[in-house]
A and B are shown apart, each in its own frame.
Chain A
């Protein structure tokens, strides 16, 4: 493994960990501005994490190792995904394992651990949150697989780096009927997996509807900081994947330092646009009633299925 590829991994990890809370802060800021408030500064999530990190580590009585390990597993799985997916450069050293199925199973590993940790303290809210999270995950993960499979058909590989490289080599395949369908499906999945509106409202603790917040209710101090960091990393990873799969321009193709820094800048620009869009979007949508969330996910599943059908029957790229 040459030093350039190691540098690529380090840059991707530093980028994801460093920028994730900023993305969350940006979305909050945009939302606040549109609602006529000044809003907290963009670095506020980082300050919150620092504050939480300095607090005492505390776990509820009668909790098992699951409760302690879940935040670590959550952060670790996100870091591994940051290492293997094409974010800043398509020439990641681990791109052999940067497979769609590996990424989805890593995501699911984190989700399952968080759901178990929600059950572990034995509180009512934790159980409710875990049950809701599993309902959403069971519908969203297959959709994620299907939607990216529709894009994989044009590259002939489920390797994410190969999909992005194919799109870079032949820009004509990026815009097509399949892409539009896959984009709609992946967009809905991103909202569901990252617990954003209209599936879950990240800024309230309303017991009737909360999903993510219900599971992490018992966490405090450094553990909570890890959970929050992992949640914002997931949002960034989904956003970066959306950006790179549907607008791959600007991603580095080699492992030169300058090239990769430029790639990081371009990706940062794309994420700023995406974050601003998400902030605007969240001002205009309302939370869906919980029993209608599966319907929304069914829509995204059907759209993803149609995308796969279209890419199977229509000419694979022209």
Chain B
């Protein structure tokens, strides 16, 4: 049951990465981010239960609070405070972006095959999934020119890295995890301040407006 639930959580996380590339509504994208955070937290929880490791359970709780609770709440506030910015216009046509995502996933699975073959187990089979999320999220990051979607792309990327870190290491150091989580929270808060500054200056979150220097 353990390995199947692990697989399901990985599958949900990967589907979320693809869906984030498809949706245009900012609120929907934030919800997808929360769904992916939930899948990652589930992976951490399953690992903690399986290895009887209290530290991993604490990591799971932390991931849940941070990635399902705090960060989506902060982002939702940013979206709600921004008038006329409910949708984002992708600079790459969605169908092309999806095909690119498919290619990137195949590359991720092909490239990490050797890693899985080193020690085939239910955990290591999630490594290619994590890499695929990293690549797809990075593509989403460059495909959209909106401060908020770039922030979400960055967070999806971080989710992929967190997934790989969870399943690839024998035992996650609690200190390292907490440090990474705090860094992430700090980054989100700084970027939230940046977006609100942008909004008050330009009335929009379009990054293409940041082309000129001013004093």
A residues at B contact (CB < 8 Å):
172, 174-181, 184, 294-296, 298-299, 301-303, 305-306, 309-310, 312-315, 318
- A residues near B122, Cβ cutoff 8 Å: 318
How many angstroms from the CA of A207 to the CA of B157 in the assembled complex?
42
CA distance A305 to B120 in the complex (A): 23
Which are the 6 A-B pairs with shortest beta-carbon distances? A180-B11, A175-B4, A177-B11, A176-B7, A177-B7, A313-B109
Contact with A along B74-100 (1 / 0, CB 8 A): 000000000000000000001100110
Find chain A residues with CB under 8 A from B120 CB. Answer: 315
Is B132 interfacial (CB 8 A cutoff)?
A: yes
- Size of chain B's interface in residues, with CB distance under 8 A? 32
Using Cβ atoms and an 8 Å threshold, which residues of chain A touch B98?
A: 295, 298-299, 301-302
Contact of A298 among B95, B109, B126 (CB under 8 A): B95
Residues of chain B with a CB closer than 8 A to A298's CB? 22, 94-95, 98-99
Chain A proximity of B91: nearest CB distance (Å): 16
Please report which residues of chain B, range 103-125, place their CB below 8 angstroms from some CB of chain A when the two chains form the complex. 105-106, 109-110, 113, 116, 120, 122, 125
| Closest partner residue, chain B, to A182 (CB atom) | B11
Question: Could you tell me the distance between the alpha carbons of A212 and B11 in the complex, rounded to whole angstroms?
Answer: 33
**Interfacial residues of chain B within 1-47, with CB under 8 A of chain A in the complex:** 3-5, 7-8, 10-12, 14-15, 18-19, 22
- By a CB distance below 8 angstroms, the chain B residues around A178 are 7, 11
Question: How many angstroms between the C-alpha atoms of A313 and B129 in the bound complex?
Answer: 11
Is the CB–CB distance between B4 and A299 below 8 Å? no
Q: How far is the CB of B1 from chain A (nearest CB, A)?
A: 8
- B116 contacts A180, C-beta separation under 8 Å: no
> Once the chains bind, are B15 and A180 in contact (CB under 8 Å)?
yes
